[in-house]
Amino acid sequence: MAPLIQATGLTKRFGEFVAVDGIDFSVEQGESFGFLGPNGAGKTSTMRMIGAVSPITEGTLSVLGLDPEQQGPQLRSRLGVVPQEDNLDQELTVYDNLMMYGRYFDLSRAVVRERIDELLEFVQLTEKRRSKVDALSGGMKRRLTIARGLINEPDLLILDEPTTGLDPQARHVLWDRLYRLKQQGVTLIITTHYMDEAEQLCDRLVVMDKAKIVAEGSPLSLIEEYAPREVVEVRFPAGVLDGVAGRVEDLAPRTEVLADRALLYTDDAEETIARIATTGLEPETILARRSSLEDVFLRLTGRSLID
Amino acid sequence: MATPIPLRVFESEARVYRRTWRGSMFSSFLSPVLYLAAMGVGLGSLVDQNLPGGVEGVSYLTFLAPGLLVATAMQTGAGEGAWKVMAGIKWVKTYHAKLATPIGIPSLVAGHMLWAGARVLMVSVIFAVIMSAFRVAPLMQSLLAVGPALLVGLAMAAATTAFTARLEEPTGLPLYFRFVVIPMFLFSGAFFPITQLPGWLQSIALATPMFHGVELSRSIVVGTEPAVAWWISVMYLVTWIAVGTALAIGPFRKRLTP
């Protein structure tokens, strides 16, 4: 079967500025596909091109077998979009927001009413049906935006930074809902700059940096390919690290010295920790953990994902 | 059969309006009553005492009412193209939400204009009913004067939308109302004939869409001969609507779907 999304040499320029620089990727039916990268990497521009609200500058892009440029309305009628910034109508109720949105897709009121019941149940907002959006918490608004994105039973749901700005509990509720959608076979496109989110939700992802794709794979395969199994994080009191950087770098095959701490990449954390003791270095704290996508990103770009 | 997309935009505007319709309708009733009572009857009695022949041959109230009808429509149209457009593009980004659906820019603008027309129509019909209650003209004749009012309201909605869509900051809007809309309201022939103005101001008044609407409306209600042939005024207003709407599409596209 042909991929749901196919992009080759996809480019977006705003005047001189290159937002997306000739990227290639494809997304299969039923897949949950992520774009991981820092702010300004070109994730949102890519989403907007897929969503047929931003014309492509160069390259080719096919979404659901349609050309976003020529068949925009037809394509958008089959997409669900959860934008980075909530753009719900704050003055209207939860119910009215969904009814209004369903009507944009020319669904009959009866059909929309039925779907509103189901979707509010799904995003756990049934009690808030008559509340004004203004009065909802950030997490509830996001869930409502997701429900809104599902009102037309889309073939593809695009989520741009779905949990940015939410507290940890609200994030977990949201992840749980998205995971269920994934299990129901909905194809998800997710952008995020949180590696834990990518690990939780994405079957496959691309890492974006400075308008380009720098790596591609499943979260696990990326970690295996770009980072040894374990990481030892050693923290030093302020100002000490610069002086001992050379000695720290001898402790493991690969190290990253950041402002306040050093990361030692190793296959055996215990052995590395034991070696620290023998060098006479006196870190403030030592923490051993599994490698994450953050480490992959650091390896690929030399920079931290969240500054 | 699929609903035309501009009508879907229209429906959503109506849904938003439904929340505040009572207050809005009430002020649409109150405002003409106050104006016609204070200016038409109150001030008008002074005018009529001093001008035995009347203003252009009729009482001041009769002179004023059809002009004020158009002036009110003008203000309503300008209002529909201002803060709501700013909010849609910038503050609440409701336009962005709409554009993620089958709605495209031309349909969005068309639906917006349809709704602006509906609002102008509501305000103008209410005004016409009150105007006939003040015995300015029979109801049917008053309602006919809604036609030019609607054209003026749409012209201002289109022009204001095109203006607002180009604003980065809302600070331009109060200035626009203070230096464009209010002067137009006062000096385009609703309150006194523009022949009272100095020559250069007369040319400016002549260029406003409101002046043409006032002349048309007054000719329907009072039977005066309009200063400009009626069909030229109608074409002039239709041109404002068409050009204004077309000029709104560019900045909408640039800002909403870059």
Min Cα distance A5 → chain B (Å) is 17
Min Cα distance A146 → chain B (Å) is 12
* Same-domain check for residues A27 and A167: yes
Report if residue A304 sits inside a domain: no
B241 with B153: CB under 8 angstroms? no
Structural domain boundaries enclosing A260 = 228-290
A100: nearest CB among B3, B15, B257: B15
Taking contacts as CB-CB distances below 8 angstroms, the residues of chain A near B98 are: 104
> Phi and psi dihedrals of B70, rounded to 5?
-70, -40
Structure confidence at residue A123 (pLDDT) = 93
Structure confidence at residue A304 (pLDDT) = 67
- CA-atom Rg of chain B in angstroms: 19
Residue A288: both structure tokens together: 């051993």
* Same-domain check for residues A32 and A117: yes
Report if residue A298 sits inside a domain: no
Structure confidence at residue B159 (pLDDT) = 98
B8: nearest CB among A74, A83, A106: A106
Min Cα distance B222 → chain A (Å) is 44
Pairing state between β A261-266 and A230-235? antiparallel
Query: B47: pLDDT confidence band, cut at 50, 70 and 90?
Result: very high
- Contact criterion met (CB < 8 Å) for B96 and A83: yes
Q: How far apart are the C-alpha atoms of A111 and B227, rounded to whole Å?
A: 55
What's the average model confidence in pLDDT over B77-101?
Answer: 95
CA A58 vs. chain centroid, Å, equals 24
Handedness of CA B79, B84, B90, B95 (dihedral sign): negative
* Same-domain check for residues A207 and A240: no
Work out the burial of residue A254: count CB atoms within 10 Å of its CB; fewer than 13 is exposed, 13-18 middle, 19 or more buried: middle
* Same-domain check for residues A219 and A279: no
Report if residue A300 sits inside a domain: no
Q: How far apart are the C-alpha atoms of A191 and A160, rounded to whole Å?
A: 5
Report if residue A295 sits inside a domain: no
Mean pLDDT score across all residues of chain B: 96
* Same-domain check for residues A27 and A111: yes
- The pTM of the full predicted model, rounded to 2 decimals, is 0.90
Within 229-258 of B, beta carbons closer than 8 Å to A belong to 256-258
Domain count along chain A: 2
* Same-domain check for residues A158 and A106: yes
Structure confidence at residue A206 (pLDDT) = 95
Of A179, A206, A223, the residue that ends a domain is A223
Of A167, A202, A223, the residue that ends a domain is A223
Within 250-269 of A, beta carbons closer than 8 Å to B belong to none
Q: Which residue of B has its CA nearest to A47?
A: B100
Instruction: Kindly report the CATH number assigned to the domain that includes residue A158.
Output: 3.40.50.300
Report if residue A94 sits inside a domain: yes
Taking contacts as CB-CB distances below 8 angstroms, the residues of chain B near A53 are: 96, 99-100, 256-257
Instruction: Kindly report the CATH number assigned to the domain that includes residue A233.
Output: 3.30.70
Q: How far apart are the C-alpha atoms of B130 and B62, rounded to whole Å?
A: 13
Q: Which residue of A has its CA nearest to B106?
A: A73
Tell me the residue type at B204.
I
In DSSP terms, which residues pair with A24 in a beta bridge?
none
* Same-domain check for residues A160 and A245: no
B150 with B117: CB under 8 angstroms? yes
Report if residue A303 sits inside a domain: no
CA-closest candidate to residue B214, choices B240, B185, B238: B185
* Same-domain check for residues A216 and A233: no
* Same-domain check for residues A190 and A111: yes
* Same-domain check for residues A203 and A281: no
B12 touches chain A (CB under 8 A): yes
Taking contacts as CB-CB distances below 8 angstroms, the residues of chain B near A96 are: 15
A53 touches chain B (CB under 8 A): yes
A88 touches chain B (CB under 8 A): yes
* Same-domain check for residues A131 and A253: no
Question: Looking at chain B, how many residues does it have?
Answer: 258
Q: What share of chain A is helix, strand, coil (3-state, %, to 5)?
A: 40, 25, 35
Structure confidence at residue A305 (pLDDT) = 62
Tell me the residue type at B129.
V
**Segment-wise mean pLDDT, segments of 10 residues, chain A, 307 residues:** 92 96 96 91 95 97 96 96 92 96 97 97 95 94 95 96 88 90 92 86 94 94 88 86 82 84 88 86 88 85 66
B104: nearest CB among A72, A81, A89: A72
Structure confidence at residue A94 (pLDDT) = 98
Of A206, A223, A240, the residue that ends a domain is A223
Min Cα distance B128 → chain A (Å) is 31
B16 touches chain A (CB under 8 A): yes
Q: Which residue of B has its CA nearest to A14?
A: B258
Q: Which residue of A has its CA nearest to B105?
A: A53
In DSSP terms, which residues pair with A23 in a beta bridge?
A10
Query: B241: pLDDT confidence band, cut at 50, 70 and 90?
Result: very high
Report if residue A305 sits inside a domain: no
- Which of A72-76, A280-284, B17-21, B140-144 is least confident? A280-284
B16: nearest CB among A76, A87, A89: A89
* Same-domain check for residues A241 and A174: no
Beta carbon pairs, A and B, within 8 Å: 67
Substitution target in B101, B103, B107, B257 with the highest count of A β-carbons within 10 Å is: B101
Report if residue A204 sits inside a domain: yes
Work out the burial of residue B179: count CB atoms within 10 Å of its CB; fewer than 13 is exposed, 13-18 middle, 19 or more buried: exposed
Within 39-98 of B, beta carbons closer than 8 Å to A belong to 92-94, 96-98
